[in-house]
Structure 1
Amino acid sequence: MKRLALMTLLGSSVLLAACGSGSDSGGDPRGRLDTDYSNLRLADPALGPLSNQHPPSDFSEYLRNGVRLMVQPQGQDGRNDGDFAESPAAEDSAGGGENFSQTNVHVLGVDEADRLKYDGEHLFVAESPYYTYAHFAAGAEIAVDDGFGGSTEPPPNQAVRIYSTQPEAVGATWMARYEFERSEENPLTLSELYTLDDEEGRAQSVAALSDKRLYFHWGWGDTPSYGRRAGATRVDLLDVQSPGNPQLDWSIELEGALLNSRKIGDVMYLVTRTIPQIEGVEPYPDSQEARERNEQLIRDASIEDLLPEYSVNDGDLLPLVTEEDCYLPREIASDQGYADLVTVSAIDLRSRELVSSACINAQLSGIYMSLDSLYLGARGGSGSEQQTGLHKFTIEQGEVDYRGTGVVPGHLNWSDPAFSMDEKDGYLRVVTSVRQGWNDFDHYLHVLREPETGDTEQLEVVAKLPNEQQPEQIGKPGEDIFAVRFLGDRAYIVTFEQMDPLYVLDLSDNENPQIVGALEIPGVSTYLHPVGDGYLVSVGEDPMSMEGGVKIELFDVRDDNNPLSLETHMIGGQRSWSEALRDLRAFNFLSVSDDSLRFTLPVTRRENYEWVDSGLHLFEINNLTGEEAVLEPVGSMIVEQPQDNSNGWHTDSGNGRSRMHGDTVFYLHGNDIWASDWSDPENVQGPFTE
């Protein structure tokens, strides 16, 4: 990879919004290079159709202008990298037809990386590393401040664990631990896994995803957002056909920080982010000599220098994209610049090759993928003038091709844009919010599609809510959106201020959507999961209650006009927490029959704000085919309590996961696997070690 110069870390788009700039048309009569960038301006690439037909000179100068804007020490726009969305799915989205559960995903057929994978015979665990910001500061050659602290060694626990399972005996056996080599020069952090399966669904290979995110001590709250604009992404493919002796089979490393990924069949899609990395460029130059040196380096940079690269098996560097693969706004001016590049790379894991890559020049706010299409959401403007551009690509057999762009007002859901978009029958349905004031929102549903004739590079809006015929607002004054779920011809939206309205939208006619029902209940739901035919189960909180806790609720939505809350169960008191509140992969489920569904979620329980215990909580929903379904708590697998820890504080288990196989439940807490029988969850077996 190109050397990650200090400029790369500091030169994020945080600096772009408030910087002026100028052209590089030449020096002044005294022979100086023109380093006055006050006439340059930041482009807003989020809106309007894109093009990959710009002359190479215009393309490269646009990126160079973006670099020029970056190196100026003025202004911060506070932007973040956004989240990444995938299309919602039916209730069996964890995959299967088997008697074991898998990763809970947004759409059936689109797999998502996770730190726990299961093929029915073996559990594969990506160990969760513990590290400090100093690891990354050292890798970026940044002096560590006195208050930074921490080791400069690479993060520990860079390994994949493999267990064989014995569900009939409620147990698991340690098989192997494959440890990755890390160094101070390449401080990659293992994050998540995919499996590449054989025809019978058993894992042949495990794809281990690692990335390098460089952080700078610029305020604890903002640091991660800035750091994501530099780094590297690596995929190591392990041969696990002999689970007791895994072997490294193939690897690929991409320039750019890993933002997210998905896999359809054998093809894995990596979403990475880079900014041009020009070695020697000095951020915030404080002398004319340094500014002129910067300008000369920027001018001398070729297109190849400005675009990301990749390598296979640590071999020669190759271009990840060319200018023909990159899409900029259709209209760009010579005084505009924007340097952030988001790249989508399709990698065939079975043939072990990069199939295609495409990049756009945008401030990303969300990604949505169906089985056929990829939508990149990008935001432009601010406040009540903010808009979201939706760039559509087809993804047939790994080939990523641009189709067109649509624009809607507002921004995607702040907590999980995964549930703000959905594609059905060629229509894109999207929910956005426009902030009119500090606590004042307008919420909209828009329906877009490619035009049947004419300009295929402009997605047209064919319907929206509210409208003149359907003026009812989505949400009451002061209410923000906390959860959205599209399910076929219906959409469910949860808004919240002090109560928790659940809105039901009828989308059976995509060009005439309607609000058909609403239900007000205490608390707020942040995750909605479909169950059976006409039920939803939610995970949420009740922040207005003194008792607090994690709230599990069952809704009957068989009658669109009259949604009902059937049962509520609270876990813990104030400040109790579950990863499932923010990450659907922490919510695991298994359909036992047409009449019964089981689900689990990890919870860190507190009472009176004091930590009580951490464990996995088990629930059943029964009588799904009867007159009315019933929510039943089964019990909990408690694996950590204050007396288990010398400092009285729980393990940082923010990636707790579980899998079910028949009547056995496997629970990943920290880096350890535990097991229990469904009928006796308090009798916990484990952890299973070497």
Structure 2
Amino acid sequence: MRNILLAAMALPLIIGCQSKDREETLNTDYSHLKLATAKQSPLVQSNDSSRFTELVKNGMRLQLNNSHLVQTLTSAEVASSQYSNNNLHEAGVDEIDRVQYDGQHLFVAGLPFHGPDPDTGKTIRILETAPAQANAREIGALKLSSSTSQLSGMYLLENADQQTDKLVAIAGTLVYAPFHILPFSGGIWHNGSTDVEIFDVANINAPKSEWNITIEGAMLESRRIGDTLYLVTHSMPVIDGLTSFATTEEQKIANERLIRDAHIADLLPHYQIKGGPKQPLVSANDCFVPRDLETDEGFANVVTISVIDLRNQRIAETLCLNAPISGLYASQSHLYLGGTDYGDGQNTVLHKFRMSANQISYAATGVLPGTMGWTDPGYRMSEHEGNLRIVTSKFGENNTRVHILYVLKQDPGSNTLSVLSTLPNSEHPEPIGKPGEDIFAVRFFAERAYIVSFEQIDPLYVIDLSDPANPLIAGELEIPGVSTYLHPINDDYLLSIGWQRENNAAGTRVKVELFDIANIANPASITSVLLGEHHSYSDAQYDHRGINLMQVGSNTLRFTIPAVIMDKPSANDSGYIYSQSSLHLFEIVGIDQAGASLQTRGEMVVDQPTTDRHWPLAGYLDRSRMHSDTVYYVYGNDVWSAYWQAPEAVGGPF
């Protein structure tokens, strides 16, 4: 391996080798090394493994030198059957969730720390539902093979007869990196491992584990398309014996020798099938690095995309990249990974990968000014007819926020994502957002985009993308409060979940609102509903899986959202106390015609304060499913039920 440290930049230390007949020179001054940022050049496959090796090892040297090291990540589909499914960002691209339902059985992944059983977070409950009676009963449970992992969620697979026959559980363990390794964060969870376990549930009364794989590295994201799982993990190389607080020359020399002598194959992630021997997940030659990588840069975080054939239970393909990643979006044909370049200003670097038939391959890279913000980056991106639409934000003149919508295209034979159009532009210079406003919600739907910005009021922008080369702001509406989740129902109606603050109160109330967008030049609010008093909140405000939707006939959409409701002890009291945890039922009637209305249908109250407890038992990762006229509410690890027409008559817990 070629020398990667510049001896002229530091005074070398002369030490004795194990052989007394010779000496070697080791450089332990890493001051000239720098953290590799997201590069603005296309990725190239690291056919020269030494190039990749030096990037990873320099990253480890920076880790010891207390430099910044780890950067991690941070659904317009409506069910029309008699039972509801998951709320997805992209139709046909399934997302992991802790609750799955196939119309007969409800599968619930346990949350740790809920209940006396220490294995709660390793267990999936199986409940047989009886929607005609608004009832359910537990008929079994699945337990992870791993004794150390905690469930992240699961997927269901259907056979040719569209019957559920496999359950794919994803779980993981995490290892903590203390602040002295990552001083900018005060410590961060990373590394650990990710477990994928496939259970045969064709005979629901005798489910069994068929296959499991353990992959080194923590899961960033996953997506399922058909019988293929795309699993994105990241890992940090570990070398036993490294001294984190090296202060003496001897300790620094020992560290450098360990890094120098480490083989790159030992620093990359491995996997095990059914607890068998460890096998390399990727090789250095499988990994992609930025084309304009400099020799004094380092980045130890290895991001791996594993393509798993769930039906044949095998790793079909893997791909690795050594570049900062801070966001993910997947269409049915492409996976996009984004990172932020903090060099000259702030730029978003996007890497595009093709997905097809248990395969993945690198396609292109694009660079845009700005970042993808603090909300879920996936919602700022959308692929439509081969083009990628994306919204970024940056600070412009006078340190004010500037928001830009880009339409990107990949030219044939090119590995570059080029800009087809932007908004604002010379023809349409109107800004997205008022001065100082940040973006709180973005949603693309066919040839439109909906963007909500906020500082004092909530402007909703309707953007016309019918001509991808000439986008424009078609309409705008200013309303109180802010939307944090947008759900297009069709071309005429838009649903939003968010919050509203009243009278300069310290907290906010949960807000549900329906918009008429039939005339995109003149969007209008139809109705809004406020839940609870200030400091009330809902999972659905920031997690699209918290809202569940089901279309009934051609003109009615039912949906449910959970909420932790706060109330005032008395009218004159300035404080707020916990009142209840409940699932709130809504209907939008008339979605197939003009004049639709948003109507409340009651609430399922499943938890209230007691004499000794003044806080909710759960209230996070709540989920719900609907089946005909029955609603199932998963609160913590318990399941409750009620008829749609009588939500106050709650049955359970099951």
2:86 matched to which residue of 1? 103
- 1:452-531 to 2 correspondence within 5 Å? 452=412, 456-531=414-489
CA distance in 2, matches of 1:614, 1:169: 24
**Residue 168 of structure 1, aligned match among 114, 122, 132:** 132
- 1:250 to 2:211 alignment: yes
From 621, 634, 651, the counterpart of 1:685: 651
CA distance, structure 1, for counterparts of residue 271 and residue 306 of structure 2: 11
**Mapping for residues 536-685 of structure 1, pairs under 5 Å:** 536-545=494-503, 546=505, 548-608=508-568, 609-643=576-610, 646-685=612-651
**1:211, 1:223 → 2: CA distance?**
25
In the alignment, the residues of structure 1 paired with residue 474 and residue 375 of structure 2 have an alpha-carbon distance, to the nearest angstrom, of 25
* Between 595-604 and 33-42, the greater mean CA deviation after superposition: 33-42
| Aligned: 1:39 with 2:5 | no
Could you tell me which residue of structure 2 aligns to residue 59 of structure 1? 52
Q: Is the contact between residue 239 and residue 248 of structure 1 (CA under 8 Å) also seen in structure 2?
A: yes
Distance 1:158 1:639, change over 3 A: same
Deviation at 1:216, TM superposition (A): 4.9
Q: Contact 2:47–2:286 at 8 Å: present in 1 too? A: no
2: CA distance between counterparts of 1:259 and 1:213?
Answer: 12
What's the offset of the Cα at 1:210? 0.8
Give the match for residue 143 of structure 2. 179
TM-score by structure 1 length?
0.87
Q: 1:298 aligns with which of 242, 259, 264?
A: 259
User: CA–CA distance in 1 between the matches of 2:530 and 2:38?
Assistant: 45
Task: Tell me by how many angstroms 1:361 deviates.
Answer: 1.5
Which residue number corresponds to residue 317 of structure 1?
Answer: 278
Give 3-state SS (helix, strand or coil) of 2:259's partner: helix
Q: Which residue number in structure 1 is paired with residue 100 of structure 2? A: 117
Q: Structure 1 residue 653: deviation in Å?
A: 2.8
- Give CA deviations for 1:264-317 in whole Å, capped at 9, x if unaligned: 000111111111122222223122112111111111111211211111111111
Aligned residues: 631
Question: Displacement, 1:626?
Answer: 3.0
CA RMSD of aligned residues (A): 2.5
Deviates more, 1:242-251 or 1:162-171: 242-251
**614 and 225 in structure 1: CA distance in 2 versus 1, 3 angstrom threshold:** farther
C-alpha separation in 1, matches of 2:501 and 2:174: 34
Structure 1 residue identity aligned to 2:393: S
For residues 284 and 375 of structure 1, what CA distance do their matches in structure 2 show? 38
**Are residues 1:421 and 2:381 paired?**
yes
Q: Which moved more, 1:116-125 or 1:44-53?
A: 44-53
Q: CA deviation at 1:198?
A: 1.7
- CA shift digits 1:615-673 (9 cap, x unpaired): 10000000122331000000000000002x74222113311000000001011001011
Q: Where do 1:136-535 residues align within 5 Å? A: 156-180=120-144, 183=147, 187-216=148-177, 218=179, 226-381=187-342, 385-436=345-396, 440-452=400-412, 456-535=414-493
For 2:647 and 2:183, how far apart are their aligned partners in 1?
41
CA pair 68-24 structure 1, distance change in 2 beyond 3 A: farther
* Cα distance in 1 between the residues matched to 2:649 and 2:399: 48
- Give 1:7's aligned residue: none
Q: Give how far 1:548 is off.
A: 3.4
Check whether the contact 1:622–1:629 (CA below 8 A) recurs between aligned residues. yes
- Quote the Cα distance in structure 2 between the aligned partners of 1:82 and 1:439: 26
1:216–1:223 Cα contact (<8 Å) kept: no
CA drift of 1:259 comes to: 1.2
472 and 255 in structure 1: CA distance in 2 versus 1, 3 angstrom threshold: same
State the Cα distance separating 1:543 from its structure 2 match. Answer: 2.7
Deviation (angstroms), 1:194: 0.8
Aligned 8 A contact 1:387 1:410 in 2: yes
Question: Cα offset for 1:27?
Answer: 5.8
| Offset at residue 245 of structure 1 (A) | 2.9
Unaligned runs of 5+ in 1: 1-20, 84-88, 132-150
For residues 158 and 536 of structure 2, what CA distance do their matches in structure 1 show?
A: 38
State yes or no: 1:81 paired with 2:42. no
Cα distance 1:674–1:490, how it changes in 2: closer, same or farther (>3 A)?
same
SS of 1:200's partner is coil
Question: Any idea what the Cα deviations from partners look like across 1:41-74, whole Å, max 9, x if unmatched?
Answer: 222234221000441122211211111111113x
Q: Do the aligned partners of residues 129 and 29 (structure 1) sit closer, same or farther apart at CA in structure 2, a change above 3 Å counting?
A: closer
Distance 1:23 1:579 in 2: 52
Distance of 2:243 and 2:194 partners within structure 1: 25
Cα distance in 1 for partners of 2:560, 2:186 equals 31
SS of equivalent residue, structure 1 residue 229: strand
Unaligned runs of 5+ in 2: 16-22, 569-575
Matched residue type, 1:239: D
Aligned mates of 1:80, 1:652 — CA distance in 2: 30
* Partner Cα separation in structure 1 for residue 594 and residue 463 of structure 2: 24
Contact 2:13/2:28 (8 A) holds in 1: no
Contact 1:528/1:538 (8 A) holds in 2: yes
**Judging changes above 3 Å, is the alpha-carbon distance between structure 1 residues 24 and 678 closer, same or farther for their aligned structure 2 residues?**
farther
* Aligned-partner Cα distance in 1 for 2:146–2:388: 43
Shift of 1:222: 9.4
How far apart, in 1, do the equivalents of 2:60 and 2:376 lie?
31
Which is further off, 604-613 or 557-566? 604-613
- Checking the alignment, whether the CA contact within 8 Å between 1:507 and 1:514 is kept in structure 2 is yes
CA contact (8 A) 1:81 1:228 kept: no
Give the direction of change, closer, same or farther, for the CA distance of 1:112–1:42 in structure 2 (3 Å limit). Answer: same
Contact 2:80 2:552 in 1 (8 A): no
Give the % identical residues: 41
> Given the superposition, is the C-alpha separation of residues 218 and 648 from structure 1 closer, same or farther in structure 2, using an over 3 Å criterion?
farther
Task: Identify which of 109, 114, 129 aligns with 1:126.
Answer: 109
Higher strand proportion: 2
Q: What is the CA–CA distance in structure 1 between the aligned matches of 2:508 and 2:255, rounded to whole Å?
A: 55
